[in-house]
Amino acid sequence: TDDVVRSVHRILAHADEQRRLDVRTNADTPEDSARARRFGAQGIGLCRTEHMFLGSDRRKLVEKLILADGPEERQSALDALEPLQKQDFLEIFEEMDGLPVTVRLLDPPLHEFLPDLTELSVRVALAEERGEPDEGSLRLLAAVRGMHESNPMLGLRGVRLGLVVPGLFAMQVRAIAEAACDRRKAGGDPRPEIMIPLVGAVQELEAIREESERVLAEVCEAEGVDVQATIGTMIEVPRAALTAGEIAAYAEFFSFGTNDLTQMTWGFSRDDVEAAFFHQYLDKGIFGISPFESLDREGVGRLVQIASDAGRAAREDLKLGICGEHGGDPDSVHFFHDVGLDYVSCSPFRVPVARLEAGRAALGGERAGS
């Protein structure tokens, strides 16, 4: 087995010499970051911060933030969240020292954070039955009802949430900047990149960018450290792909979110890819493989191409990457090489395969197994 391991390392080293695509990883914990680095990841292409809010204490704080009665209540939730976020980023910057870390600002489907409507209704009903109406729960119920969405994946997510909840993205940017300053003071080399999710119109990015730049400058000034953080956007809404030239004026990088881009291009909900109807449909064999597994070149791929061309025409040094699941799919990696992206980002365990396929693509080879 030592021989096998040595051969694999030799093949991967050869692929690394050839490939033009960098390979990064999708990671949001120090453990995943360290693992991916051992597998050869050249940074983090997607750190999903919503995963950092799933613990019950933090979930409560986000709930309080989103349903806040007024600015004071909102600010107290933000103040409690910021140091927790700062610690999250510190640990990840430490593991990825010297390598880029793309931190994506919060992009949760809202229903994952709000109290469950049924549970809440039962609580209210039981209290009434006992003749002790629960005012707090009643108010909460009204608020949650008001925010209920039929399609949470197409609702108040990403930049939309950042614009609707004042201070939310600023809190995250502050935590990123402070963590980077601390690392720098400790002699480290943090390389944060701030990524805005679900942008569909340049105005959204413009507004968040302005706020982020202000916060970054404030923190650097207060800490007496000059950390550079680039600001970019996901391209995952078809409208963003079609207006990429304008968006590039406010983005130092694009990262294609092919999960959402596939959902919105095909009109298939991501939440339903495991559903029976979707399999029945695929089993008809008309399209072959699911577009969520292997990139659909004629549709979604066309949008990736259009956005890459328009983005680069508007900004020559625009960095281009992909962080949807397709970033670790062998066939799709060849496509991203052909389009001329700078990097693919995939889950830690797929990093070696992505390195191999990026090397094969550069050599003009067919993908492994085909």
Residue 178 contact partner, candidates Mg ion, ligand PEP, none, CB within 5 to 8 A by sort of partner: none
Burial class (CB in 10 A: 0-12, 13-18, 19+), 253: buried
CA-based nearest residue to 269, from 140, 109, 123: 109
* Residue nearer to ligand PEP on the CB measure, 32 or 107: 107
Per-position x/- string for 201-240, each x denoting binding to ligand PEP as judged by CB under 6 A, each - no binding: -----------------------------------x----
Query: Can you tell me the distance from the alpha carbon of 92 to that of 88, in angstroms, rounded to the nearest whole number?
Result: 7
47 binds ligand PEP (CB under 6 A): no
Q: Any catalytic annotation for residue 47?
A: no
Q: Figure out which of the listed residues 167, 192, 257, 328 binds Mg ion, where binding follows CB under 5 A.
A: 257
Residue 48 contact partner, candidates ligand PEP, Mg ion, none, CB within 5 to 8 A by sort of partner: ligand PEP
CA 192 to chain centre: 14
324 binds ligand PEP (CB under 6 A): yes
- 214 among annotated binding-site residues: no
Q: Figure out which of the listed residues 22, 236, 296, 357 binds Mg ion, where binding follows CB under 5 A.
A: 236
Q: Which amino acid is at 110?
A: L
**Interacting residues with ligand PEP between 67 and 126 (CB under 6 A):** 107
Shortest distance (Å) from residue 131 CB to ligand PEP: 46
Bin 96: left if φ > 0, else alpha if -120 < ψ < 50, else beta.
alpha
CA-based nearest residue to 212, from 181, 177, 184, 178: 177
* Residue nearer to ligand PEP on the CB measure, 253 or 359: 253
Residue 103 contact partner, candidates Mg ion, ligand PEP, none, CB within 5 to 8 A by sort of partner: none
**Looking at 137-145, 204-212, 258-266, 309-317, which segment touches ligand PEP (CB under 6 A)?**
258-266
Per-position x/- string for 281-320, each x denoting binding to ligand PEP as judged by CB under 6 A, each - no binding: ----------------------------------------
Q: Which amino acid is at 10?
A: R
CA-based nearest residue to 263, from 104, 128, 157, 129: 157
Shortest distance (Å) from residue 104 CB to ligand PEP: 7
- 29 among annotated binding-site residues: no
The pair of structure tokens assigned to 50 is: 């919503």
**Three-class DSSP labels, 244-307:** HHHHHHHCCEEEECHHHHHHHHHCCCHHHCCCHHHHHHHHCCCCCCCCCCCCCCCCHHHHHHHH
* Residue nearer to ligand PEP on the CB measure, 219 or 251: 251
Burial class (CB in 10 A: 0-12, 13-18, 19+), 322: buried
Element at 231 (helix H, strand E): strand 230-235
Which DSSP string do the residues of 86-105 spell out, in sequence order?
Answer: HHHHHHHHHHTTTSEEEEEP
Binding residues for substrate: 48, 104, 236, 257-260
Binding residues: 48, 104, 236, 257-260
Provide the binding-site residues for ligand PEP, judged by CB under 6 A: 46, 48, 107, 236, 257-260, 323-324
Provide the binding-site residues for Mg ion, judged by CB under 5 A: 236, 257, 260
Positions marked catalytic? 323
